Structure 1
Amino acid sequence: MIWTAGLALLLSAAAGCERRGGPVILARAQAPAATEDPAATAAVEQVRRGYLGRDWWGCAQDGAALRAKYPDSARLQAWTILCVARSGGGALAQAEAMLAERPGDPWALFARAGALLDHPSRGKLEAIPAARAAMAALDEHPDAVWQLGRALIVHAPRIETAQFFAGRGGTTPDLLALELAFLIQSAEATEAQVLELAAKTRAADPNNVDADYAAAVWLMNRRRADQAGPLLVRALEQSPHATALHTQLWEALLQASDPAAAGDGKATAVDVPLVRERDDDADPSPSWEALLQASRRGPEARRATLDAAVASLLRARPDSPGAFKAAADVYETLAPELHAKYEAEILERFPDSHTAEWIRLEQIGRLTRAHHERQTKNTPDPAADALLAAQIEALLRERPPADPFQRAVLYMERYFLLRDDPKDAPEVLLSTVQAWIEVEPRNFHVLGDAALELAERTPYKREAEAVLRRAITQAEAMLREDRAQGLPQEFVDENANWLQGQLSSALGSVLLAQGRRDEAREAFAPVQALKQKSPQALVRLAAFAEAEGRIADAEQLLIEGLALWDGEKSCEEALRALYRRQHGNERGYARHRTRLEDAARAQRRAQVLATALAEPKPLPPFELPRLGDEALRSEALRGRVAVLNLWTTWCGPCVAEMPALQQLADAYAKDPDVAILTINAEPRTDELPAWLAERKVHLEVLLGARWTTDNGYNTLPMTLFLDREGQIVFSHEGASERLVEEFTWRIEALRAKGSPTPRPQIKRTASG
């Protein structure tokens, strides 16, 4: 499982696109007036400043009021529409109406381009051509150049965007801030580069909000709340009512005041509002240090600080659905009753807002997670499933989300319910899968599974093939876009191989279900050539081998899959069913499986040990607090074979393999030559002790969110195996179905490597 922090700029890069779609006006429109009423110009700057300060709801409201005073200002109307686009309103309809009222007006073209830029379905194809047309019509006005830059960040390949900034970057403070937003999305960006460009932006415009906000986001993504906090406070001084800034500051406070990062806890309570009550309030904003002191006094003080912050934001923005959503989110784990209260208020007061769409989707998401948990635990609840199905149906029928991604999620969840209830009508499964393929942006592997389910359970085999072939075509386009975006080549190649295995094997199975064996063999050929295959692909390959009479090959494929993560269930069922078909019953199956596994075990052990690094790497040094105990330095592990498992509570595979990891730790608990530890990578760990206690886990836990991120460990779970010299000899990404067995092989290989060296006597230091 690949994880990244859930904090990203709303200017996040999307996939590249073809340059087509949407009307483009090529003739140069009338140039804007050379002079404008100074009061109208000030009104434009007020709205524009609100937009660039990330107070999109506020600038939409201000713009609507100011337009009544200055109805002839096209630029004011255009910037107001841009604010509406970012705050979730009907911006495109407003832009089209403006263009109808002001045919050929360059600011109407600017407004339409801005509305398209944030449109969930049309933006990808139409935003960049519209932004180019607006820039040409406005004679490359700085506003239009800035908007094209943002359109490229959101919708163009990274190389094209980089070329834009290489030619135009640094010409205005707003373009500098935009370039900073682009920089922080790069995995290769360094702290020196980010902070240098932020300082350059700030020097060009001391009031530029993104100079601080973008740098803070980059720091927060690297678990550096202590550095991000002062930047967010300074950004709020310039834009005190911007919800985006408040949510980041609240998260920074929660991270930095976590017990793992709370220092000695010697702080006094400070009564500090996080929002100015009036725009003309001359009192200085509270310092980060004061806020941190208030929240570090203890859980009650931290909750009081957040309560005051939320209350003051809602007083300042009482009609903003985004502000209420921010309040709901911050209370999700701290105070579930307030989380539910604010969600209900959004649905009641702002039912047609984009925010309400997300709330409804999140509520269904919670129900679907409960459904999947029941499936895992084999505790069915037909009434709960019926309620979930009814809510999905009602949402798709009465309030279908405007965002195609949201609709895709609903169709996917509807498919899961249909898959788990074989009594549903085949035509319902067909219509669901066909509607799903129309809007799915990335989860094509699940669509492959759905198409195969359709072929195996219904008469619609040809329709299933059509869906699957379209999924393959769209997946290939997605991978091309990923490469154009400059994603790491290794990551894209790994994803491409995995997708090929999933989709090509599904296609082979669909063709086999139609009796088209020669075409199925052609579809399976690239899957057989893959070095790493998923359990699902192995089950499908085994079924094809059985169809060709290659029973021994089918058994070997399934035995291989048993040792892969999530393979025990699917491959065991297939192996047992194969034995039953060959022998008429299951007598002797257990002995047969044991013989097959014993024959394969030596080969698998050799494959595991062959993953040892040719040149072991030193473990990045650390001094990390133990959960509820003193700190541990990495030097203290010298002289022992050490296993370090990196994990989080929200990583499903991490949690699933934890019982096996506990079993391994128990087996070596009294062995002085072996140390088995875990490093939790979560920025907030105040609820971790209760989480572990509930699951009866007593592994040794180090708190290392920042250490994990700083050293590039971006795959979870990740397990590092150290020799006695503190060198990383093995590293294992992802979960392990045979964790105890395969980890033991690595441990014993390292134990046999030379004789034990004296362990250094290092005194533990107090955490903090």
Structure 2
Amino acid sequence: MSDRSRHSALRVGLLLLFVSCGASLGACGDGGPAPDYTVEELEAAKAQLRDHARLRTFEAGKLFGDEWVARAPDDAELRGLYAYQLVGWGLSNEIREQADAILADDPDNPWGLYARAYAHLVDGDAKLAHETVREAWEASPQPEFAFLYLRALASSDFEAARAFLESLDEEIRAWPEVLRMQAELESAASYELDDPTWADSSRATWAEFKEQFPNHVLGHTRLANEAYNARRMDEWTQLMEAALELAPGSLEVRSQHWRGLWMSELLPSEERLPAVEASMAAYREASPETVEGMQGVASMYRQMEDEERAAELEARIVESDPGSYHASLVYMEEMRRVSRELYEIREEHGADSPEYRAQLEVVRDAAYGFLERPLYNDRFKGGVYIDLFRALEATDPVPAEELAEAIRGLVKYERLNPHITFGDAPLAMIDHTPYALEAADIVREGTHHTLENLRDVRSFFDTEGEWDQMLRGTLSGIYDRIGWAYFKAGRTEDGRHTLERALAIAERNRDVRYHLGQLYEHLADEAEEEGDAEAVTEWLDQAEDSYIAGFGASRGENPNETALEALYERRNGGREGIEEYLATLDERDRIRRRERILESRVEAAGTYEPFQLARLDGEMVDSADLEGKIAVLHFWGTWCGPCIVEMPEYQKFDERYRDDAEVAVLSISNDRANDIIDEYLAKNDFDFTVLVDEGYVERVGVNAWPTTWFVDRDGYVQFVKIGTALKLDEEFSWRVEAIREESSSP
């Protein structure tokens, strides 16, 4: 045992001596008041806090902990166990208060370090959390600390978490929360290691968990979640009933129950609301009324689109404590609603509509209103500054000073979306404010965060080539924004050299091509002022080449196309002949895209895992029936924004091959309920074939949407397309015809 551990043990011993002395004699040593509890009662209180954690009844657990911490404020273990109840409420400030109270007299106390680590974790700093709890573990290796160490490591360093788990002895590994982390790490391994068999291991571990700890609610709820995803609703019902019997007053369990009743096809639609409300009533009866509980019920009412009852509960939360964490959640929900309305108005009326312009002002006012509230902490400010920035950027004219201040707030508070904080935002500052060099500084200072975020998603890239492409694109973007800032600030040569460096890193970066074209046109203007006609022609030629290289590089509006048209008019004195000119360029781009796509064929083609999946009408489709055909398997979901964008083109592609006996086009939806898919298809007049995912996506390790496999007649995947296509119908058909041509060759 280390000296620190011995000192901690000595303190605990002295505390127990004090408690025993007070309980039996009425006073101790300095004549202080005797505690109003016995040692046995204190230990029973700790056991009860552990029971609340086991049952996930954090609402009652916090109230119980409030009482006992007031009675036994000097017991570090009690405070640590109470801190875990606060984790269930998301109360990082109060968790930190518990840590500070423990560590004030004993800076090395393991329970104090444990509580402080949880505060870091709730605040979203997993790295600092695992560094802090490691000290607690090294001082006192006990299961609670091992669990938190694993939980924090799993969020920041998957391999280190696995190694730590393997290092634990059998006694620690048999503790329920540590076994829980084994199951969660196995589930993560199916993605991190691109091996779907780990998902089976995770399910097996959860089954073992439930068998070994039948009174621990997580064994039931995690298996119920797996059953729900696989549409095994009878199994889900049995598991949820067992969980509710154990913990009728757990908001966590109840929320899972409510969502299952409401969203599944377990009940007819007319019976869902009464079933959810009956479960809500049972929850209120079993649990004390708390703001945590009111928040959970309000959230469910919002999901059921009962805005009135949700608003009533949220008003009570705010009235009870306007500066509380849960009141801040209410303010944040208000902000999210106006932002969602902005998106819906844009989809319905367009970005140029009066309705959209009016809603921009609503979002702007709501953001300022939120920032003036008595907020619990700064946690949500970053997201609000994103909404404010987007609204101001879309305002016409852009309010330069206001936008600059919003971006400064964004830089101060937002780290979850570095592509916005250190990408889109400084670019807007360059384009719309006089603070271009300040924007360049923001980009430089954010480089570390940008690259760290990129490192965190490394596992999403299957090949080194894909990873290299993403890395080059990111680095090119950093140089692009800095170079553009130099140019806009009048440092033309610095801008040119930096932009050309960005181009050298990623030559297909359309933004770099556009910015360089603009810079070359500026140099042409300067040459024209100097009367150097030859230099004017040279710079305009370079601008034209730059725009052409960036032409057709991505979906949606492309600034190179607009700039190229303007340059054509400049050089030709009007638009006569421009359609023929652009058509020539479009065909050139089409040839280049086709060459790149055909070069993307899988180097070592392999077969895919067989499946038997149901269509929406219940008819089964067996992958064995695809033998001898060219198959296109398209993984998507209505929840996937990029998938939805390309669905009209996917419908055209499906129609192209619908009557082709040699080609089978199938989509596999990852949605949770069939009625969601049916409603989407009907709304958009789509009739392509949809298979319902029954865990197949998880088994084969598809973790990016959309993903499309192009399979030859022998069942080998010859092309894989991840993400949206620029022109889906055209580009998908190139792959199909390439496979057909190869299989037809002698």
TM-score scaled by length of structure 1: 0.79
Query: Corresponding residue for 2:165?
Result: 165
- Residues 226 and 252 in structure 1, CA contact (< 8 A), matched pair in contact too: no
- 2:569 corresponds to 1:580: yes
- 2:11 corresponds to 1:31: yes
Alignment equivalent of 1:508, drawn from 483, 493, 499: 483
Q: Aligned equivalents of 1:167 and 1:240: distance in 2? A: 37
1:45 Cα offset (Å): 0.8
Q: Aligned equivalents of 1:494 and 1:27: distance in 2? A: 54
Identity, in percent, stands at: 25
Query: Corresponding residue for 2:535?
Result: none
Query: Corresponding residue for 2:202?
Result: 194
Q: Secondary structure at the match of 1:698?
A: coil
Of 225-234 and 426-435, more deviation after overlay is shown by 225-234
Of 453-462 and 341-350, more deviation after overlay is shown by 341-350
Query: Corresponding residue for 1:109?
Result: 112
TM-score scaled by length of structure 2: 0.81
Query: Corresponding residue for 1:290?
Result: none
Q: Aligned equivalents of 2:324 and 2:469: distance in 1? A: 39
Alignment equivalent of 2:274, drawn from 289, 304, 307: 304
Quickly say closer, same or farther: Cα 1:241–1:609, change in 2 above 3 A. same
Query: Corresponding residue for 1:76?
Result: 78
Alignment equivalent of 1:60, drawn from 53, 62, 79: 62
- Residues 680 and 701 in structure 1, CA contact (< 8 A), matched pair in contact too: yes
Indicate the RMSD between aligned Cα atoms, in angstroms: 3.7
- Residues 184 and 202 in structure 2, CA contact (< 8 A), matched pair in contact too: no
Q: Aligned equivalents of 1:169 and 1:575: distance in 2? A: 67
Query: Corresponding residue for 2:709?
Result: 720
- Residues 501 and 533 in structure 1, CA contact (< 8 A), matched pair in contact too: no
Quickly say closer, same or farther: Cα 1:433–1:632, change in 2 above 3 A. same
* Deviation per residue, 1:7-35 (Å, 9 max, x gap): xxxxxxxxxxxxxxxxxx99945531375
Q: Secondary structure at the match of 2:649?
A: helix
Q: Aligned equivalents of 2:398 and 2:470: distance in 1? A: 33
Alignment equivalent of 1:681, drawn from 670, 681, 691: 670
* Deviation per residue, 1:325-363 (Å, 9 max, x gap): 433444545444455555555445564443443343233
Quickly say closer, same or farther: Cα 1:709–1:163, change in 2 above 3 A. closer
1:421 Cα offset (Å): 1.3
- Residues 683 and 706 in structure 1, CA contact (< 8 A), matched pair in contact too: no
Q: Secondary structure at the match of 2:13?
A: coil
Query: Corresponding residue for 1:243?
Result: 251
Quickly say closer, same or farther: Cα 1:160–1:713, change in 2 above 3 A. closer
Amino acid at match of 1:82: Y
Query: Corresponding residue for 1:765?
Result: none
- Residues 78 and 107 in structure 1, CA contact (< 8 A), matched pair in contact too: no
* Deviation per residue, 1:371-406 (Å, 9 max, x gap): 2454462324233221211110011122446254x2
Amino acid at match of 2:13: A
**Number of corresponding residues:** 690
1:59 Cα offset (Å): 1.0
Query: Corresponding residue for 1:437?
Result: 411
- Residues 67 and 77 in structure 1, CA contact (< 8 A), matched pair in contact too: yes
- 2:180 corresponds to 1:177: yes
1:240 Cα offset (Å): 3.5
- 2:333 corresponds to 1:362: yes
1:230 Cα offset (Å): 5.1
1:718 Cα offset (Å): 1.9
- Residues 641 and 724 in structure 1, CA contact (< 8 A), matched pair in contact too: yes
Give the structure with higher Rg (CA): 2
Of 169-178 and 436-445, more deviation after overlay is shown by 169-178
Q: Aligned equivalents of 1:649 and 1:571: distance in 2? A: 32
Q: Aligned equivalents of 1:502 and 1:228: distance in 2? A: 47
- Residues 220 and 228 in structure 1, CA contact (< 8 A), matched pair in contact too: yes
- Residues 126 and 152 in structure 2, CA contact (< 8 A), matched pair in contact too: no
1:416 Cα offset (Å): 0.9
Alignment equivalent of 2:215, drawn from 207, 210, 213: 207
Q: Aligned equivalents of 1:430 and 1:606: distance in 2? A: 43
Quickly say closer, same or farther: Cα 1:496–1:228, change in 2 above 3 A. farther
- 2:393 corresponds to 1:453: no
Q: Secondary structure at the match of 2:695?
A: helix
Amino acid at match of 1:370: E
Amino acid at match of 1:361: M
Q: Aligned equivalents of 1:164 and 1:645: distance in 2? A: 38
* Deviation per residue, 1:36-68 (Å, 9 max, x gap): 611210111101221243332321111123445
Q: Aligned equivalents of 2:333 and 2:645: distance in 1? A: 24
Quickly say closer, same or farther: Cα 1:135–1:746, change in 2 above 3 A. closer
* Deviation per residue, 1:251-303 (Å, 9 max, x gap): 45566x43xxxxxxxxxxxxxxxxxxxxxxxxxxxxxxxxxxxxx35223344
Query: Corresponding residue for 1:428?
Result: 402
Q: Secondary structure at the match of 1:662?
A: helix
1:462 Cα offset (Å): 1.6
Query: Corresponding residue for 1:277?
Result: none
Q: Aligned equivalents of 1:489 and 1:703: distance in 2? A: 29
Q: Aligned equivalents of 2:656 and 2:383: distance in 1? A: 43
- Residues 408 and 440 in structure 1, CA contact (< 8 A), matched pair in contact too: yes
* Deviation per residue, 1:694-727 (Å, 9 max, x gap): 2222323222252223222222122233334444
Structure whose residues are more often helix by fraction: 2
Q: Secondary structure at the match of 1:566?
A: coil
- 2:47 corresponds to 1:45: yes
Q: Aligned equivalents of 1:642 and 1:481: distance in 2? A: 33
The 5-angstrom pairing of residues 563-602 of structure 1 reads 563-602=552-591
Quickly say closer, same or farther: Cα 1:703–1:331, change in 2 above 3 A. farther
Amino acid at match of 1:736: A
- Residues 187 and 202 in structure 2, CA contact (< 8 A), matched pair in contact too: yes
1:556 Cα offset (Å): 5.2
- Residues 461 and 467 in structure 2, CA contact (< 8 A), matched pair in contact too: yes
The 5-angstrom pairing of residues 577-726 of structure 1 reads 577-628=566-617, 630-704=619-693, 706-726=695-715
Query: Corresponding residue for 2:22?
Result: none
- Residues 512 and 544 in structure 1, CA contact (< 8 A), matched pair in contact too: yes
Alignment equivalent of 1:326, drawn from 284, 296, 300: 296
- Residues 225 and 252 in structure 1, CA contact (< 8 A), matched pair in contact too: no
Query: Corresponding residue for 2:437?
Result: 462
Amino acid at match of 1:360: Y
1:535 Cα offset (Å): 4.1
Any stretches of 5+ residues in structure 2 without a counterpart? 20-38, 524-537
Q: Aligned equivalents of 1:440 and 1:488: distance in 2? A: 29
Q: Aligned equivalents of 1:537 and 1:314: distance in 2? A: 59
- Residues 131 and 148 in structure 1, CA contact (< 8 A), matched pair in contact too: yes
- Residues 231 and 694 in structure 2, CA contact (< 8 A), matched pair in contact too: yes
Amino acid at match of 2:63: Q
Any stretches of 5+ residues in structure 1 without a counterpart? 1-24, 259-295, 758-768
